[in-house]
Amino acid sequence: MKESILTTKKKTQQKLNLNESERVLLFMVTSRNKKSFDATSADITEEELKSLNFVRENWTQEEIQQKGLAKDGVVTSFDDVSKKAESELAVEAPFADGIQKWQLPINLPGFRVVMTRFPPGAVVKAHEHPSIPGFTKCGQLRIVVKGSIIFNSKIYKPGDWFYIPNGVAYSFTTDPNEETLEAYYYQYNGVAQQPLRFSNFGLNFK
């Protein structure tokens, strides 16, 4: 337990090198919220990002390579890098408890694929992915792999899917009797070759 706490603390204090897209979005956020922060800086810690209501949503291919999880050729769920990705490429899930969410270690230019594991009876609170002019590209495609998701009074079972555009609020619950696993596809936000790794769900540009 002590090692886990120290690892988490070290991670939140680690400097992140922000790209141009991320610096511009930080400037937009701090300007709208009238918070004091040097958004022109290329470096920031995860702790500072969280204080501005940002959450990590993905990892870049460069970060995946730095973690030693990039693999040439065919990549499958049976590979060691795929098992390690469950912890090394974890992303945040702020709208429900007990969720495990991680990015697959594959290079799919322009897109990211995330797996999400829900405990029985998980409740994903109502939220929306912001629609930000010049940054957001598309919405989210969710495909049920195991268990089920109850969304808009319909039960989605393995093989079923639903798509939600950015700027549309939604919520759902999962199978009350067993674990649910879903595949989650969405396009990288940000300008070309400079994807946003972080989201701010407090933004509203409508």
Cα 169 from Cα 134, distance rounded (Å):
20
Which CATH class, in words, describes the domain spanning 2-200? Answer: mainly beta
Q: How many CB atoms lie within 10 A of CB 109?
A: 7
Other CB atoms within a 10 A radius of the CB of residue 95 amount to: 15
All residue ranges of the chain with pLDDT < 70 are 1-14, 32-42, 134-137, 188-194, 201-206
The pTM of this model reads 0.79
Q: What is the pLDDT of residue 8?
A: 42
Q: Quote the pLDDT of residue 9.
A: 43
Give residue 202's pLDDT: 62
| pLDDT at residue 147 in the model | 98
pLDDT by residue (tens digit) across 163-193?
998 888 899 999 999 999 999 998 766 655 6
Q: Residue 40: what pLDDT?
A: 55
